[in-house]
Amino acid sequence: MGRSSNLTAPAQMPDKALELIGSRADGLLQSELRKLLGIESSKCSRIVSKLMQSGLVRRESIIAGGYRTFLLRLTAAQPRNDPSSHHIDAYLTEIYLLYLMRGSIN
């Protein structure tokens, strides 16, 4: 049994984090993000750092509840150039073409 009841796979964490941050028009506290993802603070910091380096998220230092924390917001960055999405697009195009060809045979 794992330590955490979190069902999100590690590879999906950045995408889930983006989804959660984007779901709040006024931003999301990094501490809230950590809790929602069910991960350790250090892991959350690494994910946020990678999202910032990619230009997808910006972070503002604020005081909340008497403690310094970070408010996370999505940037207006262009979509990521994710190689896996190209693979999926090619696969779906191939399926569609096979569907069209099959329809013209019958």
Q: How many domains does the chain have?
A: 1
Q: Is residue 99 part of a domain?
A: no
In the structure encoding, which two tokens stand for residue 49, read together? 């750092």
Q: Is residue 103 part of a domain?
A: no
Q: Is residue 94 part of a domain?
A: no
Residues 6+ apart with CB under 8 A from 59: 30, 48, 52, 70, 71, 72
Q: In CATH, what number is assigned to the domain containing residue 66?
A: 1.10.10.10
Q: Is residue 21 part of a domain?
A: yes
pLDDT beyond 50 at 6: no
Share of the chain above pLDDT 70, in %: 73
Model confidence over 29-58: pLDDT tens digits?
999 999 999 999 999 999 999 999 989 999
Q: Is residue 104 part of a domain?
A: no
* Least confident interval from 32-41, 55-64, 71-80: 71-80
Q: At what angle do helices 30-37 and 41-53 cross, to 10 degrees?
A: 110
Distances (CA, A) of 62 to 12, 27, 42, 48, 106: 28, 12, 19, 16, 64
A 10 A CB-CB count for 57 gives: 26
Model confidence over 7-29: pLDDT tens digits?
556 678 899 999 999 998 889 99
